[in-house]
């Protein structure tokens, strides 16, 4: 284990990531876990928190308002946010870790926590929060956020990937939520049209996120898995293998790029369409569907409030079976922090039912605590599909360099989406499998 951690530590600086949505609610009293530190301590305690949410709208202001409320109740605690975009977060954390200058807490995900664990930079949250408190969360989310029984990040929000679609347009066209990819293609074709009657298409069926980054890669992986292929898995003998050059993987990739190249149901400029651009396409009425997490609903509505009640959700369509990521986002506490108890107290406040439902209402992200998930506000057409998607969520492979698979698959589809590409699915899939097998070879050393 020690040698493997050294490998992880030496390789982390090469990683580039970015991954990544009431009435009758119960109000929770402010937790007292850090009371002795926050309420009775001498002087002001400053908590430095590196947050990806702070770079987003409307999530950033919502998180800030929760922190402000906490500081009102704990006047000797000062919370300082450092906003870092998700696509830059873990490279930044790696640099700060090397300099022994980590914040008290930082945004983390199950994908990155293994790297952070290998670098010995995270606190064991099972001990910090206590087993009884952690029973308030969905068990599978605690499991997804733990390594060897040690909680590495406190789950704050879940953003399982699902299909967001214009429910009003579907009803007008007599369409139902797509169950299969054939259903999806039929709907996408029907909703790609010239609405102005000038001979030019101005509405498209699907806002495909085609950028070569984690934002794009995380959206393709559930599609890949819905065709019965996996980017990486263990075979019967426990050996890591990849399916990226198998017929099922090639079928998934070909279908995905054909949405743009063959069927033309995707708006122009797909290789430059990241999440912000795709969300704007939905907000401006230029696209009917998008694959994203529930937080996308908040982003879209912040740009166009008139779409309230018109955005529906459903599990990602299937070829063989529905698939979804957990999309867990939370906070890890730095092992270097001198304010661990104070950080824990604030994080308990952050994930409380009242604040979790506030984030859900503003951003669409799903709560991670059981009682909050039972709220009626989670059963609306725009959120029900995401709740359903959690039934099909798969765990992130326990592979230390897993984050690099986002770039591997993103390179695949972007190569084929490029207008001047002379590559075909076979050659692109072979290159992807070669990259995957190279990582697998290093894992065992």
Q: Does position 331 have pLDDT exceeding 90, yes or no?
A: yes
Q: Which two tokens stand for residue 234?
A: 């263990």
Determine, yes or no, domain membership for 398: no
The reply to whether 229 and 125 lie within a common domain is no
The reply to whether 372 and 426 lie within a common domain is no
Q: Respond yes or no on whether the N-terminal peptide bond of residue 58 is cis (omega within 30° of 0).
A: yes
The reply to whether 20 and 127 lie within a common domain is yes
Let me know how long the chain is: 445
Q: Which two tokens stand for residue 260?
A: 């743009």
Q: Which two tokens stand for residue 310?
A: 């018109």
Whichever domain contains 178, its CATH number is 3.40.190.10
Give 315-329 pLDDT, tens digit per residue: 999 999 999 988 899
Secondary structure (3-state) at 274: coil
| Banded model confidence at residue 336, pLDDT cuts 50, 70, 90 | very high
Dist. CA 203–CA 200, nearest whole Å: 9
Dist. CA 42–CA 306, nearest whole Å: 50
The reply to whether 359 and 287 lie within a common domain is no
pTM: 0.74
pLDDT at 252: 99
The reply to whether 154 and 186 lie within a common domain is no
pLDDT exceeding 90 applies to what percent of the chain?
Answer: 76
Determine, yes or no, domain membership for 384: no
Determine, yes or no, domain membership for 78: yes
Dist. CA 60–CA 250, nearest whole Å: 39
Give 247-299 pLDDT, tens digit per residue: 999 999 999 999 999 999 999 999 999 999 999 999 999 999 999 998 898 88
Give 287-300 pLDDT, tens digit per residue: 999 999 988 988 89
The reply to whether 130 and 248 lie within a common domain is no
pLDDT at 28: 39
**Phi, psi values for residue 377, rounded to 5°:** -65, -10
- Which of the listed residues 361, 377, 393 is the one where a domain comes to its end? 377
Look over the chain and give the mean of its residue pLDDT values, rounded to a whole number: 90
The reply to whether 258 and 363 lie within a common domain is no
The reply to whether 176 and 315 lie within a common domain is yes
Number of C-beta neighbours around residue 254 at 10 A: 18
Q: Does position 137 have pLDDT exceeding 50, yes or no?
A: yes
Q: Which two tokens stand for residue 327?
A: 């999309």
Secondary structure (3-state) at 108: strand
Determine, yes or no, domain membership for 332: yes
Determine, yes or no, domain membership for 184: yes
The reply to whether 321 and 176 lie within a common domain is yes
The reply to whether 128 and 16 lie within a common domain is yes
The reply to whether 415 and 347 lie within a common domain is no
Q: Domain range for residue 9?
A: 2-158+328-377
Give every CB contact of residue 212 below 8 A, 6+ residues apart in sequence. Answer: 271, 407, 410, 411, 414
Q: Does position 12 have pLDDT exceeding 80, yes or no?
A: no
Number of C-beta neighbours around residue 221 at 10 A: 21
Determine, yes or no, domain membership for 302: yes
Q: Where are the alpha helices (DSSP H) in 191-310?
A: 214-226, 247-261, 275-283, 295-303
Secondary structure (3-state) at 294: coil
Rounded alpha-carbon distances, angstroms, from residue 309 to 96, 145, 316: 43, 33, 20
Dist. CA 105–CA 334, nearest whole Å: 6
Give 28-86 pLDDT, tens digit per residue: 333 333 333 444 445 899 999 999 999 998 899 999 999 999 999 999 999 999 999 98
Rounded alpha-carbon distances, angstroms, from residue 402 to 112, 173, 411, 412: 8, 41, 15, 16
Q: Which two tokens stand for residue 217?
A: 């890669």
Determine, yes or no, domain membership for 247: yes
* CA neighbor of 140 nearest in space, from 124, 122, 155: 155
Number of C-beta neighbours around residue 339 at 10 A: 22
Report the sign of the C-alpha dihedral through residues 20, 264, 304, 23, in that order. negative
| Segment of 322-331, 374-383, 428-437 carrying the highest mean pLDDT | 428-437
Determine, yes or no, domain membership for 176: yes
Number of domains observed in the structure of the chain? 2
Dist. CA 292–CA 281, nearest whole Å: 13
The reply to whether 86 and 116 lie within a common domain is yes
């Amino acid at each position: 284990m020690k040698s493997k951690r050294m490998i992880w530590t030496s390789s982390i600086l090469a990683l580039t990531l970015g991954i990544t949505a009431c009435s009758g609610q119960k109000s929770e009293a402010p937790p007292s876990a850090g009371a002795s530190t926050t309420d009775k301590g001498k002087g002001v305690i400053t908590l430095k928190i590196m947050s990806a949410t702070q770079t987003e709208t409307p999530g950033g202001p919502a998180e800030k308002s929760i922190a402000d409320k906490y500081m009102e109740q704990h006047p000797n605690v000062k919370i300082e946010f450092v906003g870092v975009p998700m696509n830059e977060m873990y490279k930044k954390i790696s640099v700060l870790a090397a300099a022994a200058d980590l914040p008290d807490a930082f945004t983390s995900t199950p994908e990155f926590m293994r790297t952070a664990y290998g670098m010995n930079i995270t606190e064991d949250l099972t001990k910090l929060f206590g087993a009884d408190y952690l029973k308030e969360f969905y068990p599978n989310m605690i499991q997804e956020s733990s390594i060897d029984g040690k909680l590495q990040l406190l789950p704050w929000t879940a953003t399982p990937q699902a299909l967001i679609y214009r429910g009003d347009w579907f009803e007008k066209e007599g369409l139902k939520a797509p169950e299969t990819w054939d259903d999806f293609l039929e709907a996408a074709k029907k909703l790609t049209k010239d609405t102005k009657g000038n001979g030019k298409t101005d509405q498209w069926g699907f806002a495909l996120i085609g950028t070569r980054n984690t934002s794009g890669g995380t959206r393709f992986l559930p599609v890949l898995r819905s065709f019965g292929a996996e980017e990486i898995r263990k075979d019967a003998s426990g050996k890591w293998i990849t399916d990226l050059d198998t017929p099922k993987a090639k079928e998934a990739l070909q279908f995905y790029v054909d949405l743009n190249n063959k069927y033309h149901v995707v708006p122009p400029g797909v290789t430059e369409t990241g999440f912000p651009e795709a969300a704007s396409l939905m907000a401006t009425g230029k696209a009917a569907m998008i694959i994203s997490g529930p937080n996308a609903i908040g982003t879209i509505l912040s740009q166009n409030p008139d779409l309230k009640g018109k955005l529906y959700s459903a599990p990602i369509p299937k070829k063989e079976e529905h698939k979804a990521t957990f999309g867990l986002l939370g906070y890890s506490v730095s092992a270097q922090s001198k304010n661990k108890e104070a950080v824990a107290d604030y994080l308990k406040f952050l994930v409380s039912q009242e604040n979790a439902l506030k984030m859900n209402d503003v951003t669409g992200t799903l709560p991670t605590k059981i009682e909050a998930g039972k709220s009626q506000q989670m059963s609306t057409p725009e959120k029900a599909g995401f709740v359903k998607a959690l039934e099909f969520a798969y765990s992130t492979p326990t592979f230390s360099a897993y984050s690099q698979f986002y770039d591997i698959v993103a390179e695949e589809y972007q190569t084929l989406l490029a207008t001047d590409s002379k590559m075909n699915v076979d050659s692109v899939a072979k290159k992807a499998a070669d990259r995957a097998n190279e990582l697998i070879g290093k894992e065992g050393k």
